[in-house]
Amino acid sequence: MKPTTFLNRTTPPHIITLVMIAGLSALTMNLLLPSLPGIASYYAADYALVQLAVSGYLAFTGLLQLLIGPLSDRYGRRPVLLTGLGIFLVATALAPLAPTVESFLAIRMVQASVASGMVLSRAIVRDMVDTDEAASMIGYVTMGMTLAPMIGPALGGIIDEVFGWQSTFALLLVFGLGVFVLSWMDLGETNHNRSSSMLKQFGAYPELLRSRRFWGYTLTATFASGAFFSFLGGGPFVATEILGMKPSQLGFYFIFMALGYMAGNYMSGRFSRQVGINRMMVTGCIVATAGMSLSLILFLVGLWHPMSFFGPIFFVGLGNGITLPSANAGIVSVRPHLAGSASGLGGAMMIGGGAALSALAGAILSAESGPYPLITVMLLSCIIGILATLYVIKVERSLAGSDKPTPGEAP
């Protein structure tokens, strides 16, 4: 692999380019959140229908990941990423012009093509470096992209209030154009071991699903991120209905999770190469479990205060920031020649599992139950993440002690 030269599309991309690509995916998801009530009012539609701009978008993101990965393994990272960004730009330009809520939602689903950035940034990193260094580099990439969920909702709310909801798409279009130009100029092809056919790439999914290590890494990522998705599904209810917080207060306290995640990403980038991805994962899951255990204890002893919930959430973010870069590096390293397919399949499973936990957390909460159902779901998710990581370690030790995997099974 050639050394990286910034703004030279014959060499691998600079880490700044990967941060911008991944950040655009994150910003597209959350910049629109404050505008949902305004969109519902504009189209005279039920809020539940307009909310599909989030949940439906998330579902399409998961489905597209199943396609984007194999496409990039067959045709290369650069053409697939640039095509995805091009489709995203067209959809972003058309969204404010949609005449009906149905057409708006359809265009919003097409916007999910920006998921190519989220999928392929991980695969590109794995093309460039080995497993432990991939965890370090992914940590720095995700640390940079964490700025999007930190500032996205606040920025979207200000722009919506001043210029209207259509302006959020104008901002996305400008940022998307900048990322497209940067990718065109800097993103050299990194997949030099392409598959001979798409059927072969889709045929790789059974191979990946037979791999015990792939399942272990994917389940670790799913349940670690599941704690975060559960928080998104139930946190606002706990804050407003149980703790009596105002929306402005809620926005402030949400920063605890993002700050923790950014700190964890930094630690992952700093220490993954020395520590190794498996020990990083188990450490991160333990930190998150300790955070939710602390929250449970604080409420049980009668300390019903926002900091009893959001303070420990910092440690969930910290644990996720330590765990997820290593888990994602593991997912794309089980079969390096199938890095794109593995990233897409693992990402789809992670988002699907996280979305299910988010729905569960929202469904079981009530004013009478207090915060305990949500805390329990988040705590159990963190604990299962530890168990999944221990499973990966056990599998790797068993493989190290034998010359080959179990018959019919990929290691």
13 & 58 share domain: yes
Cα–Cα separations (whole angstroms), residue 401 to 330, 390, 394, 397, 404: 20, 17, 11, 6, 9
| Domain match, 171 and 261 both | no
In angstroms, rounded to a whole number, what is the distance separating the alpha carbons of residues 337 and 70? Answer: 11
Q: Which of 140, 173, 202 is the last residue of a domain?
A: 202
What is the distance, to the nearest Å, from the Cα of residue 114 to the centroid of all Cα atoms in its chain?
13
Q: What is the pLDDT of residues 113-155, one digit of tens each?
A: 887 887 788 778 877 877 667 667 766 776 666 666 666 666 7
pLDDT at 170: 92
How far apart CA 61 and CA 79 sit, in angstroms, is: 19
Task: Round to whole Å and give the CA distance between 119 and 188.
Answer: 16
> Same domain for 183 and 217?
no
Q: What is the mean pLDDT of the chain?
A: 81
Cα(365)–Cα(368) distance, rounded to whole angstroms?
Answer: 8
Which of 146, 175, 202 is at the close of a domain?
202
Question: Does any domain span residue 71?
Answer: yes
Question: pLDDT at position 409, please?
Answer: 46
* Residue at 364 is within a domain: yes
3-state secondary structure the chain: CCCCCCCCCCCCCCHHHHHHHHHHHHHHHHCCHHHHHHHHHHHCCCHHHHCHHHHHHHHHHHHHHHHHHHHHHHHCHHHHHHHHHHHHHHHHHHHHHCCCHHHHHHHHHHHHHHHHHHHHHHHHHHHHCCHHHHHHHHHHHHHHHCHHHHHHHHHHHHHHHHHCCHHHHHHHHHHHHHHHHHHHHHCCCCCCCCCCCHHHHHCHHHHHHCCHHHHHHHHHHHHHHHHHHHHHHHHHHHHHHHCCCCHHHHHHHCHHHHHHHHHHHHHHHHHHHHHCHHHHHHHHHHHHHHHHHHHHHHHHCCCCCHHHHHHHHHHHHHHHHHHHHHHHHHHHHCCHHHHHHHHHHHHHHHHHHHHHHHHHHHHHCCCCCCCHHHHHHHHHHHHHHHHHHHHHHHHHHHHHCCCCCCCCCCC
Do 243 and 347 belong together in one domain? Answer: yes
- The CATH code of the domain that includes 213 is 1.20.1250.20
Instruction: Say if 346 falls within a structural domain.
Output: yes
Amino acid at 355: A
Domain region containing 259: 204-400
Specify the DSSP element, H or E, that contains 13: none
Contact 187, 123 (CB under 8 A): no
Average pLDDT (201-206) is 70
What is the H or E stretch that residue 336 is in?
none
Residues 231 and 380 both lie in one domain: yes
Is residue 13 in some structural domain?
yes
- What are 233's two structure tokens? 């599904």
- Same domain? For 184 and 239 the reply is no
Maximum CA pair distance of the chain?
65
Give 319-373 pLDDT, tens digit per residue. Answer: 998 998 888 888 877 877 777 678 778 877 887 787 777 767 767 777 777 888 8
Same-domain check for residues 173 and 209: no
Number of domains in the chain: 2
Judgement on whether residues 277 and 357 belong to the same structural domain of the protein: yes
The reply to whether 406 falls in a domain is no
Q: What is the pLDDT of residues 15-55, one digit of tens each?
A: 888 888 888 887 887 777 667 777 888 998 886 687 678 76
101/181 same-domain check: yes
Q: Is 121 part of any domain? A: yes
Q: What are the residues whose beta carbons fall under 8 Å from the beta carbon of 407, sequence distance 6 or more?
A: none
Q: Let me know if residue 407 belongs to a domain.
A: no
* Residue type at 255 in one-letter notation: I
Residues 373 and 245 in one domain: yes
Look at 272 and 183; give whichever has higher pLDDT. Answer: 183
Sign of CA dihedral 388, 389, 390, 394: positive
Q: What are the pLDDT digits (tens) for 146-172?
A: 666 666 666 777 787 788 889 989 999
Structure tokens at 117: 């950035």
For the cut 70, the answer to whether the pLDDT of residue 250 exceeds it is no
| CB-CB contact of 331 with 214 (8 Å) | yes
Domain termination residue (choose one: 178, 202, 226): 202
Look up residue 200 and give its amino acid. Answer: K
Same domain, 185 and 274: no
- The answer to the question of residue 408 being in a domain is no
Do 145 and 258 fall into the same domain? no
**pLDDT bracket for residue 411 (50, 70, 90):** low
Residue the block writes with tokens 């020990």: 279
Can you read off the two tokens belonging to residue 345?
A: 């399949």
With 60 as the cut, is the pLDDT of residue 268 above it?
yes
Task: Please write the tens of the pLDDT for every residue from 16-26.
Answer: 888 888 888 87
Digit-coded pLDDT (tens) for 282-327: 999 999 999 999 999 999 998 888 888 888 999 998 999 899 888 8
